[in-house]
């Protein structure tokens, strides 16, 4: 399992995936792929 130092590292990794973008999810920033959230900031 990959461990990340902080949220910025998680977001950078997620945004490197194809069709990923940072968008709002329940009022919080979250990476989305194809319009579906797959994580949210703790």
Residue 21 pLDDT level (bands cut at 50, 70, 90): very high
CA 25, 30, 31: angle at the middle one, nearest 5?
125
CA–CA distance, 34 with 18 (Å, rounded to integer): 9
User: Is residue 20 pLDDT above 90, yes or no?
Assistant: yes
Q: What is the pTM of this model?
A: 0.68
Residue 13: closest CA among 23, 2, 27, 28: 2
Instruction: Tell me the CB-side half-sphere exposure of residue 15, using CA atoms within 13 A.
Output: 12
Q: Where are the domains of the chain?
A: 7-37
């Amino acid at each position: 399992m990959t461990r990340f130092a902080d949220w910025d590292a998680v977001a950078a990794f997620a945004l490197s995936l194809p069709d990923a973008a940072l968008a709002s999810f329940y009022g919080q920033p979250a990476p989305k792929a194809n319009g579906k959230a797959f994580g949210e900031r703790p």
